[in-house]
Amino acid sequence: AGCATTGAAADQAEPAAQPESQAHAPAESATLEPEPLVQRAYALLDSGKTVDGLLLLGKAVEEHPENSTLRYHYAFALAKYGKDYRGASQQLETLLEHDPLHEDAYFLLAELAELHKDYPAALEYYQKVADINSEYPDVYYRLGLIAFHHLDKKKKKAAKYFKKALKRDPENADAHYRLAILLNEHLGKYWKAVKHFQQVIELDPKHPFAHYDLAVLYHRLGDRSAAWKHYQQAVEVNPELKTPQNDKAFHYELAEEPLDEVMPRLQGQEAEAPDFQQDRQRLEARMADLSPEEEATAPSPEPASPTPPPAVGSEPQKGSAPETAETEKVDKGLVLITGATAGIGRATAEIFARNGYRLLLTGRRKERLDALQARFREEFDLPVHLLHFDVRDPEAVKAAFENLPEEWREVDILINNAGLARGLAPIHEGDLEHWNTMIDTNIKGLLYVTRAVAPGMVRRRKGHIINVASTAGKEVYPQGNVYCATKHAVDALTRAMRLDLYQHNIRVSQVAPGHVEETEFALVRFDGDTERAKIYEDFQPLTARDVAEVIYFIATRPPHVNIQDVLMMGTQQASSIFIDRSGRTKR
């Protein structure tokens, strides 16, 4: 069953369907108040009348388009009963445009993202839920599960999520278990792991693996008696763990003797410690030699939550001692992103942060840069360095790079994202200030930053420059004259840079998106006029994340691959002027 059919949000929000001898037809929705209508719809859906139930909710949403409750339940019903996950996602996105703090909508979006194995997106949606309501049931547990199972570089973060989950629900046995595994196998905090494994056993005495994990852990810590006793208890709970190899590895004769007989023989025998150490090493070697066939026999544990998301029940390691040290971080490279405080720049910073890259972020708005730095350090345990300047100022750009600390000078990937549009007017009515701002930002700013960074790439014979261009650099449109000219310049510069730098082993690429929402593009273009900036309401453009994902894809190809140009638009946009503005929700 998909996660969208069993989510905690649905458990909270779905009203109990009342038995009805006669269900109203969908056409009668106009006569019903929202709550009774939702109850009637679920009565139809639960009785197998899926089409009628969905039609009833769909018609209600058409008649009450700004009613968040109706739209949420319609999205939930589309996912659970209609298996229309795309339609459900679109309804939720529309809902969030009107009600951006709807925590249940974000939770359901997260479950749908999990269903499609888009774990970074699921993590982001669950985090939004937590930001809105830190007491939302199971939200930190879900965050922990995703980071634990699907994001290899997020083990510390997973542990933090499980700790937060346990503060809110200290009787969540599975959260204790996952945290214990992280503390033991990844963070090297063995005695804390012991504490949480013991808590698991107290809450769930029949847990199939907690005793076994404790046996392995106690063996590592040198307490062979405790290891042997927990192994015996593990076998009692889960007989499949009893194998000849395990019997030999854990067997400890002294543990079977009465304590009053054992202690006199142990007193004053410190000289035997080296023999004990050799015995321990020999036993651990035996444990490490357990056959794969034996390891595969034990079933994977299921999370304690009654509504787990899909693909989270991965099998814990069995039969060998876990790693003894925290996994060493790998430096994946330094990424410089200009204009990182909003839109495509911020979304790009997010995706590189999630994947473990060090970030050098620039922007004009210092408070936003500071907020990003704090968030990435907290959420991803990630080094982030900030450069606060305006790319239009060549002296500020030069000074910023000349004064960089040594460890932040070798930029591996430069993403020239800073850019804007100002005004929309025919050439004979254009505003000179608007023209100069666009030329200085979109062309000169890109050149200033590239000039500061490219020499180091050439010197090291390593680097990648990615320019954020536009469909406006491929064609022109009425009243877009100077903006189109600046983006044509970016297109030309990208090709020219490629010719200049290929012989130095430098890759040069660009992505040219069409209309993109989740940015400040329209608001800036129309000088803060929010009404004129509403240009996306009747069609679905790209999102900033869509573009960021393409940038990340370009940047992470093998070193011998240079993707020079990606032209991308939303499905409803065929060119700068040909756009299907028939609406968003029907899609």
Model confidence over 64-103: pLDDT tens digits? 888 888 999 999 999 999 899 899 999 999 999 989 999 9
Q: Which two tokens stand for residue 483?
A: 């903006």
Q: What is the pLDDT of residue 268?
A: 39
> Quick one: pLDDT at residue 219?
83
Instruction: Provide the 3-class DSSP secondary structure of residue 294.
Output: helix
**What does DSSP assign to residue 513?**
E
Burial code (b: 16+ CB inside 10 Å, e: under 16) for 328-345 equals eeeeebbbbbbbbbbbbb
Q: How far is CA 146 from CA 72, 150, 358, 533, in A?
A: 24, 5, 22, 37
Q: State both tokens at 24.
A: 């109203």
CA angle 111, 113, 119 (to 5 degrees): 105
Local confidence pLDDT in tens for the 587 residues of the chain: 334 333 434 433 333 333 332 333 333 444 446 788 888 889 999 999 999 989 999 998 888 888 888 999 999 999 999 899 899 999 999 999 989 999 999 999 999 998 988 989 999 999 999 999 999 999 999 999 998 888 877 888 999 999 999 999 999 999 999 999 999 888 888 889 999 999 999 999 999 999 999 989 888 777 778 888 898 999 999 998 888 888 888 876 544 444 344 334 334 333 333 333 433 443 344 344 333 333 333 333 333 333 333 332 333 333 333 333 333 455 789 999 999 988 899 999 999 998 889 999 999 888 889 988 888 888 888 889 999 999 999 999 999 999 999 889 999 999 999 998 888 899 999 999 999 999 999 999 999 999 999 999 999 999 999 999 999 999 999 999 999 999 999 999 999 999 999 999 999 999 999 998 866 555 555 666 677 656 777 888 899 999 999 999 999 999 999 999 999 999 999 998 898 988 876 44
The catalytic residue among 85, 190, 483, 552 is 483
Instruction: Give how far the C-alpha of residue 552 lies from the chain's centroid of Cα atoms, to the nearest Å.
Output: 14
CA distance 38 to 32: 9
pLDDT given at position 252: 64
Q: Which fold has domain 1-137?
A: 1.25.40
In this predicted structure, what is the pLDDT of residue 528? 63
Residue 409 structure tokens: 């000078």
Q: Is 340 helix (H, G, I), strand (E, B) or coil?
A: coil
Q: CA-CA-CA-CA torsion for 192, 196, 202, 206, nearest 10 degrees?
A: -130
Instruction: Report the candidate in 88, 74, 102 with the shortest Cα–Cα distance to residue 4.
Output: 88
pLDDT tens-place string over residues 410-428: 999 999 999 988 888 999 9
Q: How far is CA 420 from the centre of its chain?
A: 28
289 in Cβ contact with 243 (< 8 Å): no
Is 483 one of the catalytic residues? yes
Contact indicator for 539, 579 with CB cutoff of 8 Å: yes
For the chain, give every domain's residue range.
Answer: 1-137, 147-328, 334-568
CA–CA separation, 352 and 411 (whole Å): 14
DSSP conformational letter for 573: B
pLDDT of residue 223: 78
Of 249, 300, 303, 254, whose CA–CA distance to 279 is shortest?
Answer: 249
Strand partners, 414: 336, 465
* Cβ atoms 335, 415 nearer than 8 A: yes
Q: What is the pLDDT of residue 18?
A: 33
pLDDT tens-digit readout, 107-139: 999 999 989 889 899 999 999 999 999 999 999
In the prediction, which pLDDT does 519 show?
Answer: 63
User: What confidence score (pLDDT) does residue 33 get?
Assistant: 64
Q: How far apart are CA 208 and CA 204, in angstroms?
A: 9
Write a three-state SS string for 553-566: HHHCCCCCCCCCEE
Q: CA-CA distance, 528 to 534, in Å (whole number)?
A: 11
For residues 25-63, b (16+ Cβ closer than 10 Å) or e, as one string? ebeebeebebeebbbbbbbbbeeebbebbbbbbbbbbee
CA distance 170 to 327: 28
pLDDT value, residue 326: 37
DSSP assigned state of 412: S
CA–CA–CA angle 396, 401, 402 (5° rounding):
95
Q: Residues 546, 501: contact at Cβ < 8 Å? A: no
pLDDT at 277: 41
Residues in the chain: 587
Is the fold of 147-328 the same as that of 334-568? no
C-beta of residue 79 within 8 angstroms of C-beta of residue 112: yes
Q: What CATH number matches the domain at 147-328, 3.40.50.1820, 1.10.10.10, 3.40.10.10, 1.25.40.10?
A: 1.25.40.10
User: Strand 463-468 relative to strand 413-416: parallel, antiparallel, unpaired?
Assistant: parallel
303-313: pLDDT as tens digits: 333 333 333 23
Q: Determine contact, residues 200/210, Cβ cutoff 8 Å.
A: yes
Per the DSSP assignment, residues forming a β-bridge with 579 are 573
For the record, the structure tokens of 229 come out as 């006793």
- Surface-to-core class of residue 268, CB atoms within 10 Å of its CB (0-12 exposed, 13-18 middle, 19+ buried): exposed
Residue of 168, 96, 95, 84 lying closest to 128 (CA atoms): 96
Name residues whose C-beta falls within 8 Å of residue 339's C-beta, 6 or more positions apart in sequence: 345, 362, 363, 391, 417, 418, 419
Assign residue 423 a region (left: φ > 0; alpha: ψ between -120 and 50; beta: otherwise): left
Instruction: Identify the architecture of domain 334-568 in CATH.
Output: 3-Layer(aba) Sandwich (3.40)
Q: Kind and range of the H or E element at 521?
A: helix 521-525
